[in-house]
Structure 1
């Protein structure tokens, strides 16, 4: 009788839970994240940036190309700015071999774009992003995102990324602490752009579209000083966005 009661209780307990096997993709993602958190002593810096001039430029470009099927998103502007800064600060476009005590700086930029899917987060990358103008970057983001969700990626699409850009602003979130995509040494998180009141230089109150960015980096090879300069350098690019469409 006691054994029967125990069995019945076990059945009732099992009815209160659901056990789900994870996919091979989720297993790979979990392994990658575990390695990154176990090995990399990461630090995250956060800042927000005035995007008013980018907003105006984007509207002008869209007006000049009303029939274009390319979605010129703010993600594309951030990606283009990021590529310019990776050229200026090459340490962020590298990997670190702690067995040989060597930093391997990549002379090419394959920018990874994190894409949310039903199967988990997948990071295809745009090959030679530094050779593309902003329209081509926007088109590549659009193409990779669609093929990722349609499960039509090929191996080269996800292989050999050098830096990752993650956009959680699409989910209404401002800041976060993104996990570095090992063996890369840094990752940039893009939050939700919001219209906010700001104090102008003359002391009056104005308004601006403010974009939050979060930069996580490997503190073994990147110090806070250079990481701060890297993140703050977005300000000049967003204040002079014509440099992003050269």
Structure 2
């Protein structure tokens, strides 16, 4: 007898109530075991792979790709009583040539060891799995084997002519007949239609976050910083970073300087409750860095910056950037931030006006480095490397004087980087 279990989407934390289905790894009739991948979903914060908690056979799938699934509602139905059913359909797949299936003298091909995800990949690319050379244990065909087969197949494409579609003879028209034909009046018709798409995933998160941010009374402050000393220092530190296979930009210096300044002005590393009755001072400096990814604007954060060196910050920043590029950031990477820096200058622009990222109370936007003429202490013109920064703060608990003192200290650390290095713990 069948025993159907509704496999529901569990609560994946951080207040996430719905996700978008990105990819299914199973289909109806597939046998699954505990911890097998069922599907990949995109939440408001990160991509998550959902795994099975049961052994059995999938009997129903409730959503298509790009559908929105609600937490607490079924994703699939699994027949847990069918532990032996369709075993040969799942792990030992008999791939038969559809064109020869009903021909006389047809002999079934050998069974092939593979997984449902690999079989689906082969079907999508019209590949007969018996033609693929296996590299897995006990002759199992892996995803990499199918991709290698595809790559080798695409490198050789013989030219064939279909015998059922002979080439049509070319029709010729005399110049005289063309001249005698009356010219037709052409009418231009605009057939371009507007495109509509639902707001989901990262974009939906931005809508929700920015709507909350609009409720915060923002206070703004701007300043310019002369990075000439840091520009001269960084090449020496880059050699050390390169020896550790690290990319060292200016952002780790900005992040560390912010942490040192937050230690002196901790109210900028705090949050307030919804009723604005309590301030919570955060002991950890989890500094977010805005990243322009393929999925949209995301803000992962570097944890415990107050305890990290410049190179350790660079290593963590490299990790977050690489994961963001592949859309693989975890929920932990994207939550728990206490203060944010947006390095908009890495794309371009002299300065930007940032919007606070709730529940944080302050954010800074850093512009591009520009070479500008400035006066030295003797009144002589010198070449300087200048950036502009704009700070936004929650004016309910942060006044202009506090924000200005914080900015002055952050500026001092960057303009005199040796001072910053001396104060690092």
Of 325, 328, 336, the residue aligned with 1:152 is 328
Name the counterpart of 2:208: 31
Matching of residue 203 in structure 1 with residue 379 in structure 2: yes
Of 202, 218, 228, the residue aligned with 2:404 is 228
Matching of residue 107 in structure 1 with residue 283 in structure 2: yes
Preserved CA contact (<8 Å) 1:114 1:124: yes
Matching of residue 49 in structure 1 with residue 225 in structure 2: yes
Preserved CA contact (<8 Å) 1:23 1:119: no
Name the counterpart of 2:302: 126
Deviations 1:187-234 (A, max 9, x none): 011110111100111111111101111111000000011111111212
Once the two structures are TM-superposed, the CA of residue 239 in structure 1 deviates from its matched residue by 2.9
1:233 is paired with a residue whose SS is helix
Preserved CA contact (<8 Å) 2:241 2:248: no
1:211 is paired with a residue whose SS is strand
Deviations 1:114-137 (A, max 9, x none): 111122111111111111000000
Quick one: distance in 2 between partners of 1:36 and 1:26?
15
Name the counterpart of 2:311: 135
Matching of residue 22 in structure 1 with residue 199 in structure 2: yes
Once the two structures are TM-superposed, the CA of residue 240 in structure 1 deviates from its matched residue by 2.2
Name the counterpart of 1:92: 268
Once the two structures are TM-superposed, the CA of residue 13 in structure 1 deviates from its matched residue by 8.7
Q: Unmatched 5+ residue regions in structure 2?
A: 1-188
Deviations 1:84-123 (A, max 9, x none): 0111110000001241511111111111111111221111
Once the two structures are TM-superposed, the CA of residue 67 in structure 1 deviates from its matched residue by 2.9
Once the two structures are TM-superposed, the CA of residue 34 in structure 1 deviates from its matched residue by 0.8
Greater RCO between the two (CA within 8 Å, min separation 6)?
1
2:350 is paired with a residue whose SS is coil
Moved over 4 A (4+): none
Quick one: distance in 2 between partners of 1:170 and 1:44?
21
Quick one: distance in 2 between partners of 1:130 and 1:65?
20
Aligned residues: 234
Preserved CA contact (<8 Å) 2:225 2:415: no
Once the two structures are TM-superposed, the CA of residue 14 in structure 1 deviates from its matched residue by 8.2
Quick one: distance in 2 between partners of 1:100 and 1:198?
44
Quick one: distance in 1 between partners of 2:386 and 2:254?
13
Name the counterpart of 1:116: 292
Quick one: distance in 2 between partners of 1:90 and 1:244?
18
Q: Unmatched 5+ residue regions in structure 1?
A: 1-11
Name the counterpart of 1:7: none
Preserved CA contact (<8 Å) 1:163 1:186: yes
Quick one: distance in 2 between partners of 1:182 and 1:98?
11
Once the two structures are TM-superposed, the CA of residue 51 in structure 1 deviates from its matched residue by 0.6
User: TM-score when scaled to structure 2?
Assistant: 0.53
Once the two structures are TM-superposed, the CA of residue 43 in structure 1 deviates from its matched residue by 1.6
Please identify which structure carries the higher helix content: 1
